Structures are given as C-alpha cells and as structure tokens.
Structure 1
Amino acid sequence: MNLSYWEYKTWLSDIDFTIVGSGIVGLNCALVIRKKYPSAKIVVLEKGVLPEGASTKNAGFACYGSISEIISDLNTHTEEEVVQLVDQRWKGIQLLRKTLGDETIDYQQHGGHELFPKSKEGLFKTCKENLRLVNSLLKPIFGTTAFQLQENRFHFKNIKEQYISNTLEAQINTGKMMAALLNLTAKNAIRILNAITVEEFQESGNAVEVRTNAFTFKTKKLMIATNGFASQLLNEKVQPARAQVLVTQPIPELHIKGTFHLDEGYYYFRNIDNRILFGGGRNLDFKGEETYEQTETPLIQNQLEKMLAEIILPDTPFEVAMRWSGTMGIGDVKKPIIKQISDNVYCGVRLGGMGIAIGSQIGKELAELSV
C-alpha cells in the first residue's frame, strides 16, 4: 500500500495497543483498555470486511453447556475445572448483558433444552442419574436448580418423550451484538482497520513490529484475539473447527421457542424471526471440518435438512433461505488460552465453541493481562 505522510501519521504511528481480530474478544479487550487508558492510541486490525471468524456466524446461544456436555467434561476434567468453565460462561454472559443491555442484543431467556434420540437411551439414562450431582455442583453459580426434566411440549419426533432443560439459557441476536460493540468502540475513539491481514510480527526493542498484507508498523503492545485462526500466527494448540449452519424461510405460527442441543451437542437449533436456525454435523466428518475454509458441504447440509424434516419440523413444510459457516477454535481441553506470549505480545484464543458465553470475559481478562 502506498501510504502518504498524513495516512501514516494519523493511523500507524505512536500506537500503544494493537488488537488482531474485531470479534467479541477483540472489541471487548479494546473497550477495557480504553477505560484504563483514556488517551491511549488503540488500533484493531480485522482481515475481513466484517468480523470474519465466529462472532457474526454463530447460532447466538447464550448457553452454559448442556447436561451431556457437562457430564462428558466431568469424565475428562476435575470437578473444580468443570465448575470454573461454567462459572466463566456465566460471568461472560452477565458481562455481555451489562455492557450492551438485553434490549440491544435481543436477549430472550426461553431456556435451553437437550433432546435425546430414541437410540441414545443409555445417554439419557446417564444424564438423568447425574442430574442431582450436576445441579449440586453448579448451584453456587446459578443460585438455583437449573437443570430439570421436561416433557416434549414442542412435539419433536423420533426423540425421547422427555428432555433435560436449563431454564437459565437464552438466545441473542449476534448481528445486533456485534453492531453495538462496533458502535461502542467508535464512540471510544478506537480505530478499526478492515481488510488487513497480519502476516507476522516480532519484538523490536520495547515495541512489536507488525507486518501486514498492506503495511508494516510498530506498536507498544500486541494482543492476538483471532480464536480459530490463532495457529496461523501463534505456536499454540488451537485447531480450526468449521461449523455449518442453515436458516429456514419464515414459518407461519412457529411454536418452537428456545435453544436446543441434540445428539450430544453435535447439532443445535433455535427460533429466530419465525424461522429455525439449525447447525452442526461436524461429527460426520471431523477431519474435513478441521479447515479455515468457510464453505458448506453437501454431506452436512443434506443431513441438516433430513433432521429438520424428520425430527424438528416433521409435520411442517419448510424451505431453506440461507446457508453459511464459521470457524471455531478448539483444543484437547476446554480451557481457553489467555496468556503472555513474550514481553509485549499476549493472546486470548481457543474459545471452544462458547464464544458468545465467554467472549466478553476473555476480552476483559486479555486486556487486564496486558495493562
């Protein structure tokens, strides 16, 4: 890029903090830094025209983990670790609500419900047997007995007649959330430069030299908040995981309200604007979905349509209006990576598909780590 003196002086000189990634983590990080340093020069770099990872491409679940997910985590993590994970999600959602307001993000608490296919009798039995244990572990966080058995009042087909609900789970409009965060950063004089890809960086004295596809500059502090794309810049164990989604055309008198988890959380759906948003299916091709490509595949999209017809909307005609995919960041453990990489470089990545729940909190912790 051929920069003028004015452009360089205005946008790329004397930068105090640079944040890579304008998703929920990056923007919350920038806002916390601004509160701490009112006169600091803060720049956010985003490789997409819009936030390109998962922040605007997710399903908008304000969730804490379904019952089967929590039980699975108890088999691979200590009780203390699982409680910490859920507590982080709880704090993250409350922080998001406080920062932007329920009306702004269209926060609707209809509850979150886990459905069990009839073929998963063993899993359903295990979840029922562990209901009291899980509620006991998490009551100090929720302040109530959150998980409850409920009848199949939405008339889904080919599933158990009971499912297990978390009455505290909710849904939000992630487009409105990101628009509000972008407006808030603009009001706080935080500059966002779009279509800028960071290619590499290195420490240079008391600063970090950053080379992008368009220019090279120096910043005093560098924060990486690219989640699923983190391994392109960092030597951290963050694996990309594509999540494919579709949404139907409006369905007259749609009676389904809430967020729903199906088949151990590999599928998930919700109501939005009298439509059904349905995503998942990564378990059909784990290796193929370990990709940075944001495209869709017939294998997974056909399965989503099949399950819509056979389970979710068995007696209701529907048409698919849109399809898309996003990139999550996952790892061998659920704990996010929030750490100092070197003297002036920090990261907050690997949100494990829980970006809406923990993104605000991770952004806050990343900012506090760097200041």
Structure 2
Amino acid sequence: MNLSYWELKNWFTNIDYTIVGSGIVGLHAALRLRERFPDSKILVLEKGMLPQGASTKNAGFACFGSLSEIIDDLKSHSEEEVIQLIEKRWKGLQLLRKNLGDDAIDFKPFGGYELFLKNDDTNYDLSLNKMSFINEILKPVFKTTVFAKEIERFGFNGIKEYLIFNPFEAQIDTGNMMQALLKKAISENILILNQQTVTEYHESKIDVQVAIGDFNFKTKKIVFATNGFASSITNGAVKPARAQVLITEPIPNLDIKGTFHLDKGYYYFRNIDDRILIGGGRNLDFEGETTSEFGETTIIQNQLEYLLKNVILPNQDFKIQHRWSGIMGLGSSKNPIVSQLSEHVYCGVRLGGMGVAIGSLIGTELADLI
C-alpha cells in the first residue's frame, strides 16, 4: 500500500492513541481521551464497513437484566458482584443518555417485561419467590422498588398469568445511537478509518508498531475495544457469542410496546416502527453459537419464528422481512475486563451481552486507565 505524503502526514504521523474498534466502547474511549488530552492525535481503526461486532447489530434494549437473569447470575457471582454489575449498567445507560441526548438515540421509557411460558413452573415460581429479595438488594441503586407483578394485557399466548414489570427499562434506536456517536467523534477531530484490520502489533519501550495488512505505523498507545473478537489478546478470557435476530414487516395496529424478556434473558423481543424484533436462542446450541462468524441457523431461526407465531403474535398475520446476527463477548464471569495489558497496550472487553448499557462506562474507564 503506497500512501501519499498527505495520507502519511495527516493520518499516520505523530499518533498518540490508536483505538481498535469503533463501537460503543471504542468511541467513548476516544471521546474521553479527547476530553483528557485536548491536543492529542487519536486514530480509530475499524475492521468493518460499520462497527463490526454488536454496536450496530444489537436489539436496542436499554436494560440491566431481567429478574430471572439476575437470580441466575447469583448462582455464579457473589451478591456484591451482581449489585455492582447492575449499578455499572445503570450508570452506563445514564452516561449514554447524557453524552448523546434522548432525542438522538430515540430513547423510549416504555418499561420492560418478563414473561414465562406455561410449562416453566421452575423459573416462574423462583422469580416470584425471590422478587422481594432482589428488590431489597437493588434499593440502594434505584432508591425504590424495581420489579413488580402485572397481569398480562398484550394478548400473548401460552404464558403464565403474571408478567414481571420493570419501569426503569427502555428502548433505543441502535442505528440512531451509533450515528450520533460517530458524528460526535468526528466533530471532536477523532480520525476514523473503516475496513482496516490490525494484523499484529509490536511494543517497544517508547511506542507500539501497528500492522494493518502490509502497512505499518507507530502509535504511543494502543487500545483494544474489540469485545467479542478479543480472545487472542485476553488469553481466552473472552469468547465470542453469536446472537441471532429477525424482524417482521410492519404490522397494522400493533399493540405491543416495551422490551420483553423470556427464559432468563435468552430470548428478547420489542416493538420498533410497527414491527416486532425478536432475538436470542443461543441456549439451543451453545457450542455452535460460540463463534465469531456472522450468520443464521435453522434451529434458532425456527424457534424465533415459533415464539412469534405461537406466543407473541398468536392471532395476527405477519411476515419476516429481515434476519441478521451480531457477535457479543462473554466469559466465565460477567464482569467486564478493563485492563492495562502492558506498558503501552490496553483493553476494554467482555461486555456480557450488555453493551448498550455498559459500553459507554467501560469506554470511559478504559480511557481513564491511561
């Protein structure tokens, strides 16, 4: 790649900070670095045409965990860890709203609901029994009750009588959010180059040499915000997890508003533009969905369609318009990794499927490490 004098001078000379990944974390890290170091030169490299992992592919849930998901997390995390995680997600959502504004991200505080299938006695009974305990431990964060029982009123089929309602949950427009974030980064003189894959990097005492294809440049610090693609830099502490999604064509007189969770958060759906978007089903094939390859599978897509037809829209005709997938970053713990890996190398990854909620905070924490 023979770059011109101008290209080398303006884009690849005297770089202070190179951020790999232009998603929620990467751009918030860049914005925070700009705030802290106003005169620095900041370059963001993105391997996709758009942010490649999940930042432009997620379902747009401004959520921090359904009741059954929180109860499930308490099996593998301490009570203190779970509370801290929820607090971080909540703070992250407030930071995202403050940085971009509710209008820009199309923030709609419709609340969130959890529903339980008729035959899911175990999770239903456990959630109702544990609800007051979870509300109690979350009171210091929210200052009031979070979860409450509500009679089902949406016309769903084959589910338990009560839904669990959460008034603090909302929905956003993922595309609007990322466009607003990209515009803000560009307005702050942050350089963004798309379709550039970092193939390797070599650290010296004073800087890092970065290779993108057969071209090399130097940067004082390199920051990885690659989430689901971070396995190699974290020695396997982050594993990719594919999330499959589909969306219907517009449905006349659609009377469903809110964000909805099913089966400990493994399924989720919402209204958007008179359509229903539904995603999840990773639990049907954990091994197959532990992949960084985009794509859809018959077993999961069929189950998403089954839930649409038999549970969510039982008496309505609908057509599927579009299907896609995103790549999340998971691990044995849901705690994000925000770490200095060596003298000039940093990473902020493993968002645990909660990138919308926690991404802005992790990006800010990542920049503050430097």
TM-score norm. by structure 2 comes to 0.99
Contact 1:200 1:233 in 2 (8 A): no
Q: Deviation at 1:146?
A: 1.0
* Superimposed CA distance per residue, residues 284-328 of structure 1 (whole angstroms, 9 cap, x where no aligned partner): 111111111111111111111111000000000000011000000
| Equivalent residue, structure 2, for 1:244 | 244
1:195 aligns with 195
Residue 312 of structure 1 is matched in structure 2 by 312
**Change over 3 Å in CA distance of 1:214–1:44 after alignment to 2:** farther
Correspondence for 2:36: 36
Tell me the residue number matched to 2:96: 96
Deviations 1:177-216 (A, max 9, x none): 0000000011000000111001111212210111112521
Could you tell me which residue of structure 2 aligns to residue 280 of structure 1? Answer: 280
Per-residue deviation, 1:354: 0.1
After TM superposition, list the pairs within 5 Å mapping 1:114-263 onto structure 2: 114-213=114-213, 215-263=215-263
Q: Is the 8 A contact 1:196 1:214 kept in 2?
A: no
Provide the residue aligned with 1:265 in structure 2.
265
Q: Could you tell me whether the CA contact under 8 Å between 2:72 and 2:264 is conserved in 1?
A: no
Q: CA deviation at 1:275?
A: 0.2
The answer (yes or no) to whether the contact 2:13–2:218 under 8 Å persists in 1 is yes
Deviation at residue 235 of structure 1 after TM alignment: 2.3
In structure 1, runs of 5+ residues without a counterpart are none
- What SS class does the counterpart of residue 338 from structure 1 fall into? strand
CA distance in 2, matches of 1:250, 1:113: 22
Q: Does structure 2 retain, via aligned residues, the 8 Å contact 1:199–1:233? A: no
Aligned to 2:82: 82
1:12 is aligned to 12
Contact 1:330 / 1:353 at 8 angstroms: preserved in 2?
yes
Q: Give the superposition deviation at 1:236.
A: 4.3
TM-superposed CA distance for 1:232, in Å, is: 4.0
Q: Which residue of 1 aligns with 2:297?
A: 297
Aligned to 1:339: 339
Secondary structure at the aligned position of 1:245 is classed as: strand
Q: Note the residue ranges of structure 2 that are not aligned, 5 or more in a row.
A: none
Distance, in Å, in 1 between the alignment partners of 2:275 and 2:306 is 17
Amino acid in structure 1 at the alignment position of 2:310: E
Match of 1:59 in 2: 59
What's the secondary structure of 1:119's corresponding residue? Answer: coil
Query: Which residue matches 2:350?
Result: 350
User: Matched residues in 2 for 1:145 and 1:86: separation?
Assistant: 14
2:50 is the counterpart of 1:47: no
Give the letter for the 1:267 counterpart. Y
Partner deviation per Cα, 1:139-176 (whole Å, 9 max, x = no partner): 11112101000111111101101011111100000100
Question: 1:110 — aligned with what?
Answer: 110
Alpha-carbon distance, 1:122 to partner: 1.7
- Partner secondary structure for residue 130 of structure 1: helix
Assess if the C-alpha contact under 8 Å between 2:61 and 2:356 holds in 1. Answer: yes
* Distance in 2 of aligned mates of 1:360 and 1:156: 34
Bigger shift: residues 7-16 or 212-221: 212-221
Deviations 1:244-279 (A, max 9, x none): 000000001100000000112111000000000000
Measure the CA separation in 1 of the matches of 2:187 and 2:5.
Answer: 26
Stretches of 4+ aligned residues off by more than 2 angstroms: 232-236
Count residues in correspondence: 370
* 3-state secondary structure, aligned to 1:113: strand
CA distance in 2, matches of 1:118, 1:215: 58
SS at match of 1:288: helix
- On the 8 A contact 2:114/2:163 being kept in 1, the answer is yes
Greater shift after overlay, 321-330 or 294-303? 294-303
Shift of 1:233: 4.0
Are the equivalent residues in 2 in contact too, given 1:267–1:279 (CA < 8 A)?
Answer: yes
RMSD: 0.9
